[in-house]
Amino acid sequence: MATKSLTNKLILRAKCVLLGNPAVGKSAITQLFHSDGSQFSKNYSMTIHSEVYIKPVNIPDTSVTIELFIYDLGCHEIFQDYIPKYIEDATLFAFVFDVTNNDSFKNLTKWIQMVRKVTGKKVIPGVLIGNKIDLSLRRSVSVQHAEEFANSYGFEYFETSALSNTDIEDPFHFLANMCHSNYEEQLKEFIKDSQTLI
């Protein structure tokens, strides 16, 4: 997390990593969010290694802007060896699953375990995103189930649909807010420590 002050504006930078089974819509979500809902590729194109998007998010009622470095990782089995390197210095995580695909939901634990292993932290700052809610007919993971799962890991749960562009920005805004509040807390602690030191 780096800070840079420019004409009264505080810019915080945070690395956010998206994880989840392939073809659940990670790239779709990130592209939509990055382009403010204008870009949505109807054809599937597998992400190779990773795509990085930079998206500034303004925190309301403050002069703080959070620059999210969104790492859209290719989670295909071939690239699994590289993933830990991307995770290492990430500060925010978004776990994405497909509400029509039960396997993607079950595999979330695997991804979470991986993050825990790499970061060495028990509490992961992140969100859980259930994608493709537009396919309500094919839905196989209930909201209640997903919420219970998210609560058990301390995540906030969001439901999105990249196709119909619904609630795409919410999880990212939440992550930005979380980042900001973390920063504030750390700043306060730092000030306190410095005061006690002096």
Partner 1 sequence: MYGKAPSGSFANRPSSRAGLGSSWGNIRGTTGVPPQTGRLGARPTTKMGLGFQVMDRPMTQQGLGGIKGSNQVRGRMIQDRTFFMSELRHKVSLVTNEINKLNNEINVIEKENENYDAFEKKVDQSANELRELQGQLGDLNTLVDKLNVDTDLEDIERLYNQIKIKNQRENNILNDIFTQRQQKENLIRDMEKKIEEERKQAEEQLKKLDADKLNEYYSFKEQNAQYIAEIQQKDQMINELNEKEKTLRENLEKNQLKLKAYENFMKINELKEKKEALEEDISSIESKNGPEERERLLQKVKEDNVEISGMERKITDLEEQISKCKERLSQLDMDIDPHQGEKNSKYEELLKRDKDMQAFIDSFDSKKNELVEKTNQIQTQIAESLEKLSSLSKRDIPSYTGASGLKELKEDLQFKQKEMKNSENTADALIIERNQRLQDLEKVNQLESKLNFELTSLKNKIEKLNEDMEKIKNIDELKKSTEEQKKKNKADRQGLREFRDSLKQEVAGLSTIYDGKKAQLQENETFAQLGAFEQKLRYQESNNFHLKEYIQTKTLESNYQAISQEILQSLEECNGQILKLMSIPPSC
Judged by the rule CB under 8 A, the positions of this chain that interact with partner 1 are 22-23, 43-46, 48, 76, 78, 100, 137-138
CB of 72 to partner 1, least distance (A): 14
Of 48 and 187, nearer to partner 1 (C-beta) is 48
Of 79 and 153, nearer to partner 1 (C-beta) is 79
Of 76 and 173, nearer to partner 1 (C-beta) is 76
CB of 103 to partner 1, least distance (A): 12
Tokens 């979470």 belong to residue: 112
Q: Please report, in angstroms and rounded to a whole number, the separation of the first and last CA atoms in the chain.
A: 25
CB of 46 to partner 1, least distance (A): 4
Handedness of CA 180, 38, 146, 72 (dihedral sign): negative
CB of 107 to partner 1, least distance (A): 16
Of 76 and 116, nearer to partner 1 (C-beta) is 76
CB of 26 to partner 1, least distance (A): 13
The closest of 79, 142, 153 to 112, measured between CA atoms, is 153
Of 68 and 73, nearer to partner 1 (C-beta) is 73
CB of 137 to partner 1, least distance (A): 6
Of 23 and 124, nearer to partner 1 (C-beta) is 23
